[in-house]
Amino acid sequence: MKKILKFFIILIFTYSSINASDQVGSKVKGFYIHKSNIVLLKLFKDTPLCKDQSWPFMFSIKSDIEKGWINTIMMRKASNKAIGVGYTANPNGRCSIEYIYFYDTEN
């Protein structure tokens, strides 16, 4: 019984953390890196869950993960391909990026 209870608790926490972020996919419209290690991102698709529509998404460069995000954003922009952004909604300002991904369906 304890193993079943433990399994369901882990399942609930896993499901909650995966679904904690909203996501949007679109081509990159704008990309801004400030000397204070703040990165701003704008996609062509509107994001009504972010109040600041001039630069709706942001993240701080703190590790190699964020540096990888920058490379991915630049690669997708250069190839004119869409990018996916998982983010935390912010009705009072910019949304914080939680993850970045891409998925091409072309062969």
Of 63 and 10, the one with more pLDDT: 63
9 lies in some domain: no
30 lies in some domain: yes
**What HEC string does 38-61 produce?**
EEEEEECCCCCCECCCCCCEEEEC
8 lies in some domain: no
Write the pLDDT tens digit of every residue in 71-100. 999 999 999 999 999 999 999 999 999 999
11 lies in some domain: no
- Residue 37 near residue 62, CB atoms below 8 Å: yes
Q: How far apart are CA 19 and CA 99, in angstroms?
A: 12
Write the pLDDT tens digit of every residue in 2-48. 555 344 445 444 444 455 689 999 999 999 999 999 999 999 999 88
The secondary element (H helix, E strand) that includes residue 76 is helix 64-78
pLDDT at 16: 43
pTM over 0.85: no
Q: What are phi and psi of 69, to 5 degrees?
A: -60, -40
1 lies in some domain: no
Domain count, the chain: 1
78 lies in some domain: yes
Among 107, 81, 85, CA closest to 96: 85
Look up the domain containing 52 and give its range: 21-101
16 lies in some domain: no
Tokens of 79: 């190839």
40 lies in some domain: yes
Q: What are phi and psi of 34, to 5 degrees?
A: -95, 155
* Domain harbouring 79, CATH code: 2.40.50.70
94 forms bridges with which residues in the sheet? Answer: none
SS3 of residue 3 by DSSP = helix
